[in-house]
Structure 1
Amino acid sequence: MTAAASLLLALAPVLAGCAASDSLAQQARAGDEKNYIAGDGSVREYAAETRGEPVEFSSTLFGGKTVDAADFRGHVTVLNFWYAGCAPCRVEAKDLQALHTQFSASGTQFYGVNVRDEAATAAAFERTFGTTYPSFEDRNGTVLLAMTRYVPPQSVPTTLVLDKQGRVSARILGTADKGTLKSLIQAAQQS
């Protein structure tokens, strides 16, 4: 057996282990036609010195108003990527609304980023779950494309917390736990 073949045989279990632990890749290969890839619930906080530049995009809300990400500066902002057919999005909707209500008095802004729905479908979801914060109509991918460093394509829901400088301070892949998101918002308010 050659040295190269021996090395490949020795590395095979290691390489297989790396691929097996990627839950997003496993879901993508599953072929279960659920139409979304659920995040694993992982939370990532970015230290202030590693946050980089403020996010940049300009997009339109379902109500027709155009919002520029530069308008986020001076406020902690929560961006939640969702669509109506996403079961985890329905699970977290009530908690997101409760946090929006709790933190709006302190100037924290919430925006949904709807990646698939037309206005009527999004409005029905918002009525059903009592969501009152605005959402971007992002079927064209403007916001998603601007955020690909933080939001894997098709990983919905994903929630980002932006600090007062408009930089991503935290990310939750998958359903946002209310207590965790509350802590991430509070941490961003302090930074």
Structure 2
Amino acid sequence: MPELSGERVGGDGQVSLKGLRGKVVVVNAWASWCGPCRAEAPELSRVQEELQGKGLRVVGVNADVSVEAARSFERDAGLVYPSLHDPQGRQLLRLPKGVVNTTGYPFTIIVDPEGRIAAARIGAIGEAELKRLVRPLLPS
């Protein structure tokens, strides 16, 4: 998985995948205007809260041009994980070709503790499917 980094949507610092090496990372690309993104956000937060003690981290990548729209989404959805603001999609262009279609939202990439892409899903992902994908990567 390439390094993705940038300013947090909340404006309170940076997000960097490099700093999460050794963890299982769920990278979720979203936009405030995306209905399926709104539907999956609470489930992603629940998985983060439940499994962070085992080494799981969820990181969002937001595509909104307006950082205010993204911040409003974060507040409304009660997101418990950070998202980096990537309005031009520059971070997502670093993804290897063929992993996902970066023009459609949402999509989710699971990164193993060694930094390798373990799975990718296009479209909304539910709590049960996400847990099914990440649990084998977490320590027992």
Is this a same-fold pair by TM over 0.5? Answer: yes
- Higher helix residue share: 1
Q: 1:41-120 alignment to 2 at 5 Å?
A: 54-62=1-9, 63-120=11-68
What letter corresponds to residue 59 of structure 1 in structure 2? G
Contact 1:82 1:158 in 2 (8 A): yes
Residue aligning to 1:163: 112
Contact 1:55 1:168 in 2 (8 A): no
Q: Which runs of at least 4 in structure 1 moved beyond 6 Å after TM superposition?
A: none
> 1:134 and 1:55 mapped to 2: Cα distance?
18
Give deviations 1:12-39, integer Å, cap 9, x for gaps. Answer: xxxxxxxxxxxxxxxxxxxxxxxxxxxx
Say which of 129, 141, 146 aligns to 2:94: 146
CA RMSD of aligned residues (A): 1.6
- Higher strand residue share: 2
What letter corresponds to residue 130 of structure 1 in structure 2? G
* Gap regions ≥5 residues in structure 2: none
The change in CA–CA distance for 1:138 and 1:95 in structure 2 (over 3 A counts) is same
Give the aligned length.
137
The change in CA–CA distance for 1:151 and 1:61 in structure 2 (over 3 A counts) is farther
Contact 1:161 1:169 in 2 (8 A): yes
> 2:65 and 2:49 mapped to 1: Cα distance?
24
* Residue 117 of structure 2 is aligned to residue 182 of structure 1: no
Q: 1:57 Cα deviation (Å)?
A: 3.3
Q: 1:64 Cα deviation (Å)?
A: 4.6
How much identity, in percent, do the aligned residues show? 32
* Gap regions ≥5 residues in structure 1: 1-53
> If you compute each CA radius of gyration, which structure gives the higher value, 1 or 2?
1
The change in CA–CA distance for 1:114 and 1:148 in structure 2 (over 3 A counts) is farther
SS state of the match for residue 142, structure 1?
coil
Which shifted more, 73-82 or 99-108? 99-108
TM-score normalised by the chain length of structure 2: 0.88
